[in-house]
Chains A and B, each alone.
Chain A
Amino acid sequence: MNPNRLNELNRRDFLSTTAKTCFGLTIGGSMARLFNDNAWAVDPAIARAGGGKAKHVIYLYMSGGMTHIDTFDPKPEAPSEFRGSTKAISTKVDGIQLGHCLPMLAKQMDKVALVRSLSTTQGAHEQGKYLMHTGYSPRGSVLHPSSGSWTAKLTARISEDLPPFVLIGGGNQHPGAGFFEPNSAPLPIGDPEKGLQNVEPRDNTTDASLKRQLDMRLDLDHDFDTKFHRGQKTVRAYNDMYDSAIKMMKSKDLEAFDLSRESEVTRNAYGRERFSQGVLLARRLVEKGVRFVEVEYGGFDWHADNFTQMEEKIPVLDQALGALLADLSAKGLLDSTLVVVATEFGRSPRIASDAGRNHYPKAFSCLFAGGGVKGGFVHGKTDETASTVVEGKVGADDFNATIAFALGIPHDKVVMSPAKRPFKMGGKEGQPITSLFG
């Protein structure tokens, strides 16, 4: 291709997007929504099978490997070298018990489905996190997209201004958009209390100034883009990010990021930990049209003092999750919002030295609620010490396929990587756990 022509195309390409979004030439607002909704609809086959009710996902990720036998899969009859000091408590639903650190969740068991039969073979944090987030094991030749980025790519945008995928408190290992283009990447929020920072122009910057800055920016990069725009994803990424950033600066929906607009009562109801406030922020973002919000809660890697740490940490999850379910339900959003609690693996049921539990991918649990999921339901079963899955075994690919199913995305829809290899949101062979729905 003639380099001059290429250059011209590139330049027009991003000039138009920036101009469109920045200076009022946009097809924003309701028009855009109309347009987008036509572009994407729930797969009818999935709707017939009971899925596709969720419009949003709030994905709570317990980083470090949350103990299953002390939380979602308690074994009160197990010998004490497995059980430790954990007691099982009954819940609103007969026959389903939870660990004693989850009393508020127990009250809302009728809204919740547990999966007690996850099993994978990835027992190291990095690989396990990758697998749970992408449905694939890490490979040297490709970066797989995370479930949030799959969702961003395969669904229509609800809000023209806000990004489809927000990641609150995420670690550096998050796979993000993988091989997808950067517009499917999560918007990271470090501290929910601070929300999205730097959205106000500097106080000496007028609209005319801002326009001049952005015009000159493109002009200064003319030669740079000519050479690198086409062949370098990170370069294209910055062009995309400027578009999104400018859009957001101008957006009325920015207040979605501002927790101070919530009452003290609500904020206290979730709890004042950073994670709890992140969960509240997730609810606000979902209300304003963000498709997928992931909130990460770190520090579950209890090789020592499992039971002391549990008493401090699980109640934080319990309060935030309990408040979220109640809040979504009161606002009538629970049916359209899938809530997920996941982690990379469970912990060894037999208590190890220093009252710790080690990594245990062979059997662990996760939770689904809302978005068309049956409440008061348990899928799968482990043996009497929560060590082996004896019924309804599912893997990380099935877990991701289930999220797709709830959203009405075909879990086996093939998207080709840049190297022309096929990938699916439900992993290579994942099948949705359809028993959770309907």
Chain B
Amino acid sequence: MNRLCALIPCVGLLTGLLSAEPLAPQVVKRAAEQIDRYLAQDYSKVRVMPEARIDDGAFVRRAYLLIVGRIPSAEEAKAFIEDRSMSKRADLVDKLVASPGYESHLFNWAGDLLRLKTRSGREKHGLGWHVWLRNSITQDKPWDDMVREMLGSSGHSVSDPAVGYYLRDRNMHLDNFSNTMQVFLGQQMGCAQCHDHPFDDWTQYDYYQMAAFGGGIQYRSADMQAMVRKVAVEIRDRKNDIARDREEPADKRDMRGQSREQSRERHLATRKAERDLRLISRYLNNDAITDNDDRQLLLPKDYKYSDGKPGEAVQAETLFGPKLQDVAPEKRKEAFAQWVSSPENPFFTKTIVNRMWERTFGAPLYDSLDDLKSDSKSAHPKLAAVLETYMKECDYDLRQFQRILYHTQLFEIECMANEPVLGEPVLFRGMVLRRMSAEQLYDSFLVMRHGEIDDSINSSFEQNWQSHVSMVNAVFDMPAKELLVLAETAEQGEKRLRDAQAAMRQAQISLRDAESREQKIEAQATMNRARKEMSEARAQSNPLMSMSMMTMETGGRKNHGLRRASELAAPFDPGHMVREFGGSDRETPSSGHTDATVPQVLTLLNNWQTHPLGNKKYHLPKNLYKMDSANKKLEYLFLALLGTKPEPRETSKYVSLVENYQTLNDLATAIVNSKRFIFIQ
């Protein structure tokens, strides 16, 4: 609230706002009008005219695709087009922004930007981070809080799942840092990781100074170390019990000998505890980071500049924005998280505004998305400045900020004929034409099959994660004696697994060499037994899985119903339709793309998955066939695929095709293959 009050006098548009609540409609309206006024001033300065206003059909399709990430169903499009209300465009925007579809679409964006990977092999931090990010978005957690929680995260992922942000780049803190600077502050520092560059602003020393705020990060679990200590005590106690039985008289032992003996004993017990807990550790130790206050970032061993010595410790210091230096070691990471996400940071607000603008209108407000300078060029500098104050006054609530953008006139005008020129700021006379993202396309095919889909949330991630959390916490809380039993069970499982693997290999050889039919059958039976044994043994060797079998805590019934792209594990596998259409591989920030390829064309033309009439039970054909005239059928098809009614000349051309299955098929396929379909106008 303080922040808000301070800003009202100079802007005074968003008055009456309470953070974490939707803005009042008149506030949104005034803010959107202000944006349009700035744009109009910039048009007249360079004597250009804006593009024309789009019609209702184009608007409804654009609004659904850009706000909730999918095309409207025929019913949704028709309802909008036939609505006679004067405020129907504003009402639709508000309805869509408030719906779960907005969250789904924003989650795809955030996951791509942050390189979220749901699956992390044996480790579970990816799942935890996924659930955390999804919930943060659903709860409208302000962007600055999200960033601060990720950058300030610490400990085990079951207690602080945002730590997945760091664990995403295990042992690669420097790469993680380069991405942090790019993603949240629009700064390109990657080159300075290895060397000074004549054209770049940053030296290698600068880079290390900034990265040094994370110099204490170690990729291991303090909870796991505590468990080892707990078990080591148990091991020593057991040994001492045995020793006490044949204790020698006290006067024969000198004090020094005893303490040396004890520390050796302690050391041996710890090593033994580590060995005994090896399989438990395998599943728990890698899902955490520990902040070691004694550790500092060191310059590389081949550091070659005169401002530092190779291998020397670097003091953490920020080089722009509010100065941060001489921070106590235990506060380094938290201080840096605060600094990055502060409204005082000259690039934090600018970067998220630029990203949200690009997300809405198709191109950044500045000449670059990921390489911002203090003098970055924009065709709309005044607007850019006022948008930063809006973002702050919205308290970094992305949903409300975008809502303002969706209410502008700009969101209602046509796309510009020419694509933006790389590296030059765009003059927004209209929207930028974009192909649907892979996720938008995937979800749009779901609409054809199922109609409206915004409410289908996949809860199995959340359930699996919650059961994992309670399991891990139960293991951390276990008494040492039980831990040793659990570890021993896992060791037995591991041994069973090795035996089963050997049996499997043997069976494979027998199968290969089998001559008679009986031998073949026998070998196959052996293989099946070995396979079953392997899966049981594998479960036993995983302490968390064997726990879950003991306590019968499974992840709940799995719902294999319909799932949007945002409800599935990321990234999609290579070869999946989403990847084929450029879905992110989650390796670098925002790596999703919309480039055309031959396999995409083949998919749209020949794959059954993309056939809008592929199955009579699908929503689209089922309702289309219900229409009682050819005209209505044609209209339904156009509404369902293009969000608009056919024009009279289109009706006269195509209406004869819809009563024949073959020609209707051809028409539907042609529409899905048209650019009107895959592009967002």
Chain A interface (Cβ < 8 Å from any Cβ of B): 121-127, 137, 139-143, 163, 169, 171-173, 176, 182, 185, 187-191, 194, 196-202, 204-205, 209-210, 212-217, 219-221, 224-225, 227-228, 230-235, 237-238, 240-242, 244-245, 248-249, 301, 303-304, 350, 354, 356, 359, 361-362, 387, 419
Q: Please name all residues of chain A whose beta carbon is closer than 8 Å to the beta carbon of B591 when the two chains form the complex.
A: 171-173
Which residues on B sit within 8 Å (CB–CB) of A171?
A: 585, 587, 591
> Which residues of chain A are near B675, meaning CB under 8 Å?
221, 224-225, 228, 235, 238
Q: Which A residues lie within 8 Å of B579 (CB)?
A: 190
- Which are the 4 A-B pairs with shortest beta-carbon distances? A141-B423, A123-B194, A231-B418, A190-B575
Contact sample, A vs B, 9 pairs, CB 8 Å cutoff: A163-B598, A172-B582, A182-B595, A190-B599, A215-B670, A224-B681, A227-B417, A231-B419, A241-B596
Having A212-B670, A304-B170, one finds 15 other A-B pairs with CB under 8 Å, namely: A140-B367, A140-B423, A142-B422, A171-B585, A172-B593, A197-B575, A198-B602, A201-B606, A202-B611, A205-B606, A213-B670, A216-B654, A234-B433, A241-B596, A249-B602
Q: How far is the CB of B374 from chain A (nearest CB, A)?
A: 15
Q: How far is the CA of A139 from the CA of B197 in the complex (A)?
A: 13
Residues of A contacting B598 in the complex (Cβ-Cβ under 8 angstroms): 163, 187, 196, 241, 244-245, 248
Find out whether the CB atom of A387 lies under 8 angstroms from the CB atom of B302: yes
Complex contact B587–A172 (CB within 8 A): yes
Q: Is B187 an interface residue (CB 8 A)?
A: no
Q: Kindly list chain B residues whose C-beta atoms are within 8 Å of the C-beta of A220.
A: 670-671, 674, 676
Docked-complex contact B191 and A122, CB < 8 angstroms: yes
Q: Which of B421, B433, B595, B607 has the most CB of A within 10 A?
A: B595
Q: Please give me the residue from chain A that is nearest to B602 by CB atom.
A: A198
State the CA gap A185–B371 with chains docked (Å): 26
Residues of chain B at the chain A interface (Cβ within 8 Å): 170-172, 175, 178, 190-191, 193-195, 197, 301-302, 367-368, 371, 415-419, 421-424, 433, 435, 574-575, 579-580, 582, 584-585, 587-588, 591-603, 605-608, 611, 653-654, 662-663, 665-667, 669-671, 673-676, 678-679, 681
B residues less than 8 Å from A216 (CB atoms): 654, 666-667, 670-671
CA distance A227 to B675 in the complex (A): 12
Given the contacts A141-B422, A230-B417, A303-B171, A235 and B666 also touching, CB distance less than 8 Å: no
* Residues on A with beta carbons closer than 8 Å to the beta carbon of B601: 238, 241-242, 244-245
Identify which of B172, B588, B608 contacts A173 (C-beta below 8 A): B588
Given known A171-B587, A241-B600, contact A124–B606 (CB-CB < 8 A): no
**Contacting pair B191 A187 (CB below 8 A):** no
Which residues of B have CB within 8 Å of A185?
A: 595-597
Which chain A positions have C-beta within 8 A of B423? 139-142
- Cα(A418)–Cα(B305), bound, Å: 39
- Give Cα A143 to B593, complex, Å: 14
CB closest chain-B residue, reference A387: B302
Query: Do B606 and A202 touch (CB < 8 A)?
Result: yes
Known contacts A202-B611, A224-B679: A238-B596 contact under CB 8 Å: yes
Complex alpha-carbon distance, A244 and B599, angstroms? 10
Contacts of B599 in A (CB 8 A): 187-190, 196-198
Best-surrounded residue of A169, A185, A216, A240 (most CB of chain B within 10 A): A216
- Bound Cα distance A222, B600 (Å): 21
CB contact between B368 and one of A140, A190, A210 (< 8 Å): that residue: A140
Cα distance, A219 to B194, chains bound together (Å): 54
Would you give the shortest CB distance from B653 to chain A, in whole angstroms?
Answer: 8
Contact B606 A200 (CB under 8 A): yes
Distance between Cα atoms of A303 and B606 in the complex (Å)? 43
Instruction: Check if A234 sits within 8 Å of B190, measured CB to CB.
Output: no
A125 to B435, CA, bound (A): 28
CB < 8 Å: which of A209, A231, A362 contacts B417? A231
How far, in angstroms, from A356 to B219 measured CA to CA in the complex?
A: 14
Q: Which among B587, B594, B597 has the highest number of chain A CB atoms within 10 Å?
A: B597
Question: Is the beta-carbon distance between A172 and B585 smaller than 8 angstroms?
Answer: yes
Q: Are A232 and B606 in contact (CB under 8 A)?
A: no
* Interfacial chain B residues near A194, Cβ < 8 Å: 575
B594 touches A234 (CB 8 A): yes
Instruction: Write out the residue numbers on chain A whose beta carbons fall within 8 Å of the beta carbon of B171.
Output: 303-304, 354, 356
CA–CA, A135 and B363, complex, Å: 27
Partner among B197, B421, B574, B587 whose Cβ is within 8 Å of the Cβ of A191: B574
Instruction: Kindly state the separation between the CA atoms of A198 and B421 in the bound complex, as whole angstroms.
Output: 35
List residues of chain B with CB within 8 A of the CB of A354.
171
A244 to B178, CA, bound (A): 40
- Report the bound CA distance from A209 to B580 in whole Å: 25
Residues of B close to A231: CB separation below 8 A: 416-419
Shortest distance from the beta carbon of A221 to any chain B beta carbon, whole Å: 5
Given A123-B194, A220-B671, A234-B594: A140 and B418 within 8 A (CB)? no
Contacts of B602 in A (CB 8 A): 196-199, 245, 248-249
Point out the residues of chain A lying under 8 angstroms from B416, CB to CB.
231
Q: Say how far B176's CB is from chain A's closest CB, in angstroms.
A: 11
Asked whether, in the complex, the Cβ of B435 is within 8 Å of the Cβ of A234, the reply is yes
Question: In the complex, A172 Cα to B591 Cα: how many Å?
Answer: 6
Partner of B588, one of A126, A137, A210, A228: A126
Instruction: Give the residue name and chain of the B residue nearest to A301 (CB).
Output: B172
- Bound together, the chains give a CA A137 to CA B592 distance in angstroms of 21
What's the nearest-Cβ distance from chain A to residue B141, in Å? Answer: 28
* A122 x B417 contact (CB < 8 A): no
**Nearest chain B CB to A356's CB is how many angstroms away?**
6
Contacts of B593 in A (CB 8 A): 172
Q: Provided the pairs A182-B596, A224-B676 are in contact, do residues A143 and B422 lie with their beta carbons within 8 angstroms?
A: yes
Distance of A210 Cα from B593 Cα, bound (Å): 28
CB distance from B177 to the nearest CB of A (A): 11
> Nearest B residue to A356 by beta-carbon distance?
B171
**B197 contacts A234, C-beta separation under 8 Å:** no
CB of B435, distance to nearest CB on chain A (Å): 6
Please give, as numbers and ranges, the residues of chain A lying within 8 Å of B679 by CB-CB distance.
Answer: 224, 228, 235
Question: Which residues of chain B have C-beta atoms less than 8 A from A198's C-beta?
Answer: 599, 602-603, 605-607
CB distance from A206 to the nearest CB of B (A): 8
Q: Closest residue to A177 on the B side, CB-wise? A: B595
- A301–B195 Cα distance when bound, in Å, is 20
